[in-house]
């Protein structure tokens, strides 16, 4: 399914692609991002420090002062780069509006590109890890709904799956938005994403259901805006083994008549083993996908939950 899609466009800190743009002339090439995820995405590289006109190599910088609005200072010669970086970043995010980005992957620990827990030094030279890189802050403020992550957090399998799931959902959402303006397409999108949403947040699932139920009473533009906002908020909530197991049990209910008691028990065992951390999610999902195909279950075969991202990424293979 996903391979036939046009590639997802993601912004990325240039040094993660292996570009020699760091202050010391080096890079921070991330092989997973280029060699594996790179098969499905087209990267738009952004290096704020080189972009705002600084050379390679250059003097190292750091954030200083107030954690909410720090200054960007060179460490040795004490040059203040704040205005320069801010002006360039504000211009760059406007240009990025045209790129149709579905997310951004930032370089961790950078005073320009880091999205969280960046060191901000106080007047005594003591760092507090509470800052946001200057470009990252402006980007996130400008694109509040876009999924963002950094290379460090993406090493966590749960955060990795969550981020990649969100960028695939956003891509489908954008494609849906490009089509006709009718409510039917939005209702169809929602129907196909129902179980995926439920695996993240039953609370958002309920409020989205209420929104869809009164779809005819809301202006289509307003309906789309409200739906997108709740959708992206819902998907940030982490899917847990407990919530996934509830969704799997729900799906099992569609095969009450078809499965023998032995087959039901086998599936139940797989779900319980997954919930208790002995099997990865891919194990019960694979068996359910098999039954969906075998019995051609019409509602489940459309569920994105069973196929949210390419299998080759192996995002559901961890325990
Ligand atoms: S962390 Fe950001 S500013 Fe630093 S080299 Fe990488 S892309 Fe450039």
**Rounded Cα distance, 143 and 149, in Å:** 13
- The 10 Å Cβ neighbour count of residue 131 is 26
Asked if 101 and 121 count as a contact pair (C-beta separation under 8 A), the reply is no
> How much is the pLDDT for 118?
98
* C-alpha dist (Å) from residue 292 to 132, 259, 269: 45, 11, 18
For ligand 1, is residue 110 a contact (CB within 6 Å)?
yes
For residue 238, report the distance from its CA to the centre of ligand 1, in Å.
28
- The 10 Å Cβ neighbour count of residue 91 is 13
- 183-200 vs 220-236: helix crossing angle, rounded to 10: 20
Q: Could you tell me the mean pLDDT of each successive run of 10 residues in the chain, 319 residues long? A: 71 98 98 97 98 98 97 98 98 98 98 98 96 98 97 96 97 89 90 98 97 93 95 97 98 97 98 98 97 97 96 91
| The token pair that represents 120 in the structure block | 């901000």
For residue 46, report the distance from its CA to the centre of ligand 1, in Å.
8
**Rounded Cα distance, 208 and 121, in Å:** 43
Residue whose C-alpha is closest to residue 170's, from 90, 234, 106, 93: 234
Structure pTM?
0.95
For residue 31, report the distance from its CA to the centre of ligand 1, in Å.
17
**Rounded Cα distance, 255 and 248, in Å:** 12
pLDDT in tens, 212-262: 999 999 999 999 999 999 999 999 999 999 999 999 999 999 999 999 999
Q: Which residue lies with its CA nearest to atom 8 of ligand 1?
A: 47
pLDDT in tens, 106-123: 999 999 999 999 999 999
Sign of CA dihedral 27, 32, 98, 135: negative
For ligand 1, is residue 47 a contact (CB within 6 Å)?
yes
> How much is the pLDDT for 5?
61
> How much is the pLDDT for 300?
98
Residue whose C-alpha is closest to residue 247's, from 180, 201, 294: 201
For residue 49, report the distance from its CA to the centre of ligand 1, in Å.
6
Tokens 């320009």, residue located: 112
> How much is the pLDDT for 179?
76
Tokens 């407990």, residue located: 242
> How much is the pLDDT for 24?
98
Asked if 42 and 9 count as a contact pair (C-beta separation under 8 A), the reply is yes
> Where does residue 133 rank: exposed (0-12), middle (13-18), buried (19+ CB within 10 A)?
buried
**Rounded Cα distance, 313 and 302, in Å:** 21
């Amino acid at each position: 399914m996903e391979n036939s899609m046009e590639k997802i466009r993601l912004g990325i800190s240039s040094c993660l692609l292996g570009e020699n743009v760091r202050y010391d002339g080096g890079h921070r090439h991330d092989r997973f991002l280029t060699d594996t995820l790179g098969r499905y995405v087209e990267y738009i590289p952004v290096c704020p420090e080189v972009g705002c006109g600084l050379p390679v190599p250059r003097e190292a910088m750091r954030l200083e002062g107030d954690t909410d609005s720090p200054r960007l200072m060179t460490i040795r010669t004490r040059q203040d780069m704040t205005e320069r970086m801010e002006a360039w970043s504000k211009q760059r995010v406007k240009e990025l509006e045209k790129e149709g980005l579905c997310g951004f992957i930032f370089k961790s620990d950078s005073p320009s590109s880091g999205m969280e827990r960046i060191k901000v030094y106080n007047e005594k030279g003591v760092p507090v890890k509470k800052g946001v890189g200057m470009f990252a802050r402006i980007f996130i403020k400008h694109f509040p709904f876009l999924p963002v992550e950094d290379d460090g957090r993406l090493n966590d399998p749960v955060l990795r799956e969550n981020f990649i799931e969100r960028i695939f959902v956003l891509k489908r959402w954008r494609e849906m938005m490009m089509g006709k303006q009718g409510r039917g397409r939005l209702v169809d999108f929602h129907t196909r994403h129902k179980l995926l949403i439920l695996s993240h947040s039953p609370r958002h699932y309920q409020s989205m259901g209420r929104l869809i139920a009164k779809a005819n009473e809301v202006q289509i533009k307003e309906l789309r805006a409200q739906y997108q906002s709740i959708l992206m908020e819902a998907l940030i909530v982490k899917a847990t083994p407990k919530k996934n197991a509830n969704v799997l049990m729900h799906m099992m209910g569609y095969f009450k008549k078809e499965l023998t008691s032995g087959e039901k028990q086998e599936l139940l065992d797989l779900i319980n083993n997954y919930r208790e951390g002995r099997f990865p999610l891919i194990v019960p999902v694979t068996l359910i996908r098999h039954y969906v195909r075998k019995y051609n279950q019409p509602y489940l075969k459309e569920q994105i939950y069973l196929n949210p991202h390419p299998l080759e990424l192996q995002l559901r293979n961890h325990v």
